[in-house]
Amino acid sequence: MSWLQDYQPAGGLWISALLAALPIIVLLVSLGVVRLSAHLSAALALITALGVALLLYRMPAGLAFDAAAMGVVFGVWSVAWIAFHAVYFHNVTVATGRFESIKRALSGFSEDRRLQALLIAFSFGALLEGVAGGGSPIAITAAMMAALGFPPVKAVVLALLANTAPVAFGGLGNPLIVLGRLTAPIMHLKPDQATDAFSAMVGRQVPFLALIIPAFLVVVLAGWKRMLEVWPAVVASGVAFAVMQFVASNFVSPSLVDVLAALAAMAALWILTRFWQPKTVWRFDGEPARESRSVGAAASSGRGALYAWTPYIILILAIFLSRIGTIFKNLPVWLDLTKLLHKADWVFAWPGLHNQVVQHPPITPKNSPYAATLTVDFLFSPGTVALLAAVIAGFVMGARPEKLLRAYRQTLYQMRWALATIFMILAIAFVMNYSGATQTLGLALATTGVLFPIFSAYIGWLGVFLTGSDASTNSLFGPMQVISAQQLHLDPVLAGATNTSGGVMGKMISPQNLSIGATAIGQSGKEGSLLRQTFLWSLALTAVVGVLSLLQATVLSFMIPSP
């Protein structure tokens, strides 16, 4: 027998929203105030979420625990599988000694820590986000910077802050593809039309962030004065990324936006450093400061860069080939590796939960059963591709099978608490979603009328905080955002895009991403410290997206594309 969600179980919308937010409040307080570890904080929040679902929303116990179980399995495959093998890939490069070659290549690029942060955290991190996503940019770039001598916690903070502008188009445009598929029927469009419209709109929002993120990173790393000393590099990387992001999102394909923008930023930095270097090399306290080397010396030391970066070239090539059918349409069957990999997908309805929960207006146009289906893309998953790339790269680097297996066991032990955190966070998200708690929170924010574009950004932020994924928050709140905008006579394309753009700012404080970053540098238990260093920045940057969206809904409405 189906169960109808109640979006105002406490009688009023805002009091219901306050009670619905209890799991989030418990999670934030446990992490940031009480300073418990991420997995203990997540466990307390999960207990709270189940309590709210059972006692406040009167959700049948069977449905509540089924939702939690589905969240765990979703976390295993859609998040943990990817993040785990991203860390494993890095551990293979370390175990084979190739990472020392990468360190030398980076020193050849520049010994200045500010330029290294721009290259690794911002540019290379965006490339990893574009081809893989799923926490891999945070894991890999944080580990790389820590191995280069960055203070470990600072390395993760920089990786988290940098992993903002590219997230909307991460995983070869998956967040926007998901959004387009879910909302196309609501807007009476074809899925491709909706996806292209959202891509164009997001491409008129996040490039403004890309212009400021490089400067923002260097300020957090070294301060305003030290940032001004490298302003040519800040401008070059930010402008190259933003311009290419706008062009690709509006005129090429959402699947290629991050890849092209990241390559443009890396190329801009490389070209700039051929004829310019900062007058003095900035290093951390305790490191010897010395004059930067000549361009000729830098170029000479960079001749082995191709050899050093071979593992990452293999990773990028493997993911590119696996996504070739997404990037290039109408390929011959024998060449469409994407379609071949998808043949191994397993789609199934979650027993006991599928279509047993009923959603109703204003979340859906009419009473509709809430599907609970899970797709396990065994071969197509970025995690599987990263595993294959790690094995291939390991053999290319001369590793024997025993060494690769030893690195795998090491990674499993290293990430044990991070994996537990991921499973519980996704369980919380699914319990809140199927009980109606997330819908209550979204509806409360949607009552803000003319200010809805600002709160629309925070709805997306909330979704990514809960799920760690922009694609997931578009699944969670995308249809509701579009429906709410239609009711408020606002442009639904703007609302869906703002859900995506605002959502990326929740990435830096999402507990599973904090846990992935902390684990990658061997600092499990430091998640609370990371949260305290990124939380206010996350709120502030979301406000920037919200204000921009409000302006686009009013005085800058010409920026909204027509589907």
d(CA 538, CA 531): 10
pLDDT score at 427: 87
Q: Which two tokens stand for residue 451?
A: 């200010």
d(CA 159, CA 365): 40
Per-residue pLDDT of the chain (563 residues; tens, 9 = 90+): 689 999 999 989 999 999 998 988 888 788 767 878 778 888 999 999 999 999 999 999 999 999 999 989 987 877 678 778 877 887 888 888 877 777 667 666 778 889 999 999 898 888 878 766 667 788 888 888 888 888 888 888 888 888 887 888 876 677 887 778 767 766 777 777 888 899 899 999 989 988 989 998 999 898 889 999 999 999 999 999 999 999 988 887 787 788 889 889 988 998 998 888 888 888 877 766 544 444 444 444 444 566 777 887 887 788 778 878 877 778 888 888 888 998 888 888 999 999 999 988 887 878 989 888 888 888 888 788 889 988 998 998 888 999 999 999 988 887 787 788 778 877 887 898 899 887 888 788 778 778 888 888 988 888 788 767 777 677 667 767 877 787 777 888 999 999 989 988 888 888 777 877 787 777 777 777 788 888 888 888 899 999 999 999 888 888 888 77
Amino acid at 197: A
d(CA 453, CA 30): 30
Q: Which two tokens stand for residue 509?
A: 């404080």
Distance between first and last Cα of the chain: 40
CA distances from residue 159 to 56, 174, 392, 407 in whole angstroms, order as listed: 38, 21, 26, 23
pLDDT score at 548: 92
d(CA 142, CA 139): 6
CB 224, CB 176: distance < 8 Å: no
CB 261, CB 241: distance < 8 Å: yes
d(CA 250, CA 205): 12
Buried residues in 439-456 as b, exposed as e (16+ CB within 10 A): bbbbbbbbeeeeebbbbb
CB 410, CB 29: distance < 8 Å: no
Amino acid at 151: P
pLDDT score at 132: 61
Instruction: Please choose, from the candidates 315, 411, 517, 317, the residue with its C-alpha nearest in 3D space to the C-alpha of residue 91.
Output: 411
Instruction: Please choose, from the candidates 7, 47, 2, the residue with its C-alpha nearest in 3D space to the C-alpha of residue 437.
Output: 7
Q: What is the H or E stretch that residue 376 is in?
A: strand 373-376
Instruction: Please choose, from the candidates 161, 92, 152, 15, the residue with its C-alpha nearest in 3D space to the C-alpha of residue 396.
Output: 92
Q: Name the 3-class secondary structure at 310.
A: helix
Q: Which two tokens stand for residue 528?
A: 């609370």
Buried residues in 8-22 as b, exposed as e (16+ CB within 10 A): ebbeebeebbebbbb
Sign of CA dihedral 242, 240, 539, 505: positive
CB 167, CB 463: distance < 8 Å: no
d(CA 388, CA 392): 6
Q: Name the 3-class secondary structure at 459.
A: helix
pLDDT score at 106: 64
DSSP labels for 6-36? -S-TTSSHHHHHHHHTHHHHHHHIIIIIS--
pLDDT score at 304: 54
d(CA 328, CA 336): 9
d(CA 158, CA 120): 10
Q: Which two tokens stand for residue 421?
A: 């955190």
d(CA 233, CA 224): 14
d(CA 426, CA 69): 9
pLDDT score at 58: 96
pLDDT score at 218: 92
Domain count, the chain: 1
d(CA 150, CA 140): 14
CB 59, CB 88: distance < 8 Å: no
Tell me the residue length of the chain. 563
- Find all residues with CB under 8 Å of 150, minimum gap 6, and list them: 113, 116, 117, 158, 284
CA distances from residue 188 to 180, 194, 249, 398, 492 in whole angstroms, order as listed: 11, 9, 22, 55, 11
pLDDT score at 293: 47
Per-residue pLDDT tens digits for 208-257: 988 989 998 999 898 889 999 999 999 999 999 999 999 988 887 787 78
CB atoms within 10 A of CB 1: 4
d(CA 222, CA 200): 35
What residues make up the domain containing 333?
3-559
pLDDT score at 236: 94
